[in-house]
Structure 1
Amino acid sequence: MNFAFTKMHGLGNDFIVIDGRTTDITLQDEHIRTLCDRHLGIGCDQLVLLTPPKHPEADVFVHFYNPDGSEAGACGNASRCVAQLLGNDPTLQTLNGLLPTKQEGELITVTMGRPRLSWQDIPLATACDTRHLPLYDAAACSMGNPHATLFRSIEDATTLGPILEHDSLFPERANIGFAEIISRRHMRLRVWERGAGLTLACGSGACAAVVNAVRRDLVDRHCTVTMEKGDLTILWREEDDLVLMTGPATAVFTGQLS
């Protein structure tokens, strides 16, 4: 069977997007691993499969797959890419619920939902203060997927990231962010992503880093997050607890898969 794909990226965080809304496409773990491999396949940080929505208010159901074949509940950069690809400000259905989108010029805003802050909802293996984990004094929350943020040098991402992803405190593994606070409105961030490794950008990780930093009174609720290839703007609204992420999305090329 042949089907089309689009290669896209959000600040260098790159994706293969496959539209399965009108064609029944079944991808096994080995297919995903091969397609995501930068030597044996197309290469990407995550594969995104679009299917018909199951909710009446959604325009599309978006599945996010890591390079190891596991499915993620959320991906902010990929959500912006899907919104740019489909146009007309679609509402995305994900495992984390409905994500409304809005495009203004080259920037796309995705409403990423409310952060989950209790240890059970992240989830963690044991009860603890999620603002100060007993693990490098990290802070943790869920943005549809588990995140821990360490407020230390971003250069530590390559050494500590792969270790902490698999720490026993995280029964479902975790995305590990390393944040350097520049000011109340600005931070630098690198993220070791669960199932993907070190990426150039992580949208849900940027949301989680701002949420965790606000909870530690390190930044304001409206904050710029600088990653290796550019900036995201994150707003954690106080009035409704929703997190909004704004940034660009870019289509790179299209092709056919067999």
Structure 2
Amino acid sequence: MPQTIAFTKGHGTGNDFVIVPDPDGQLDLSDDQVAVLCDRRFGIGGDGILRVVRSSAIDEGAAAAASGAEWFMDYRNADGSKAEMCGNGTRVFVRYLIEVGWATWDDGPVAIGTRAGVKTLTRSDRGFEVDLGPFHVDDADVLVRTRGGGAPRPGIGVDVGNPHVVVALPDERELEGLDLAAQPQMHPVPPHGANIEFVVPADPLVREGVGSIRMRVFERGVGETLSCGTGVAAAAIAVRHWAGPAAPDHWVVDVPGGTLGVRMPEVDGENHVLLSGPATLVYSGEVTLA
């Protein structure tokens, strides 16, 4: 018998999601059902699914529940595959929790569980800011080739809870001319795949102590998206790494869907990366699952 479920459509700088409330963990969406819901012609349309489930109601949320994070963000890519985390998704997820009354700012920051650990969000001038935690840079080159893009270019690996490969381009003309309708090829291929970011530094790179870059991204399991929160963080980390020790800890990153902020403060003796930006809820409705 067909099942009808509630949903809300939301986005963060154009990175859009189908939000599915399932507080007690009773909904088991297949990969095919996720793909249909995310299909922009035959479904609602989105870069992924955010299932809103109590941490205590999902096996992967046990550690989050033990830490006191009531809610778990079960994030699925548009093809149905599971992903560790989604930076823009965390902001949209918490915006939804606040709007429906399942969380509040009264007690301070809001913590949510993800497959990459518990993430803490606060309000910021840009909307919401999420602490993505410590990050890791892998200097070993990964060669990235895009369709019609000529010779492959080197990229470096950046892990911010999920894997990324960041490639520097010389100018905005090359950035705008990239053909990302086809998945770029990587060699060697990272063990779990990776999101791939293509970045161009601003000129000047740093103004009044803040770095600035532009970026496009191809997300694994999705394709090119208007924005990728963890990709924005990874891109800023990579450019800061290339720029050397004098590079700033504050960055502004322009993506096709808008502008996001990145900070890299020291937290408990470790460098963390924090991402800030807006979160918008567009509309709500019901849909019958195939």
Given the two structures, how large is their TM-score scaled by the length of structure 1?
A: 0.89
1:205 is aligned, of 218, 226, 231, to 231
- Aligned residue pairs, count: 246
CA distance, structure 2, for counterparts of residue 171 and residue 154 of structure 1:
27
Q: Which has the higher strand share?
A: 2
* Matching of residues 144-183 of structure 1 within 5 Å: 144-152=161-169, 153-155=174-176, 157-159=178-180, 162-164=183-185, 167-182=187-202, 183=205
What residue is the counterpart of 2:278 in the other structure? Answer: 248
* Matching of residues 52-201 of structure 1 within 5 Å: 52-53=54-55, 54=62, 55=64, 56=66, 57-87=68-98, 88=104, 89-104=109-124, 107-118=127-138, 129-130=139-140, 132-135=141-144, 136-152=153-169, 153-155=174-176, 157-159=178-180, 162-164=183-185, 167-182=187-202, 183-184=205-206, 185-201=211-227
Which 4+ runs in 1 deviate beyond 6 A?
none
Among all aligned residue pairs of Structure 1 and Structure 2, give the percentage whose two residues are the same amino acid.
30
> Once the 2 structures are TM-superposed, how far is the Cα of residue 159 of structure 1 from its aligned partner?
4.4
CA distance, structure 1, for counterparts of residue 251 and residue 125 of structure 2:
20
Deviations 1:47-91 (A, max 9, x none): 111211132321211111111111111111111001111122421
CA distance, structure 1, for counterparts of residue 49 and residue 29 of structure 2:
10
CA distance, structure 2, for counterparts of residue 207 and residue 101 of structure 1:
15
Is this contact kept in 1: 2:48–2:78, CA < 8 A?
yes
Could you say what secondary structure the match of 2:136 adopts?
coil
What residue is the counterpart of 2:36 in the other structure? Answer: 34
Structure 1 or 2, whichever has the larger Rg, is 2
Letter matched to residue 263 of structure 2: L
CA distance, structure 1, for counterparts of residue 217 and residue 156 of structure 2:
14
Q: What residue ranges of structure 1 are gaps of 5+ in the alignment?
A: 119-128
What residue is the counterpart of 1:15 in the other structure? Answer: 17
CA distance, structure 1, for counterparts of residue 182 and residue 264 of structure 2:
25
* Matching of residues 218-237 of structure 1 within 5 Å: 219-237=247-265
C-alpha RMSD of the superposition:
1.9
Is this contact kept in 2: 1:36–1:47, CA < 8 A?
yes
Is this contact kept in 2: 1:175–1:193, CA < 8 A?
yes
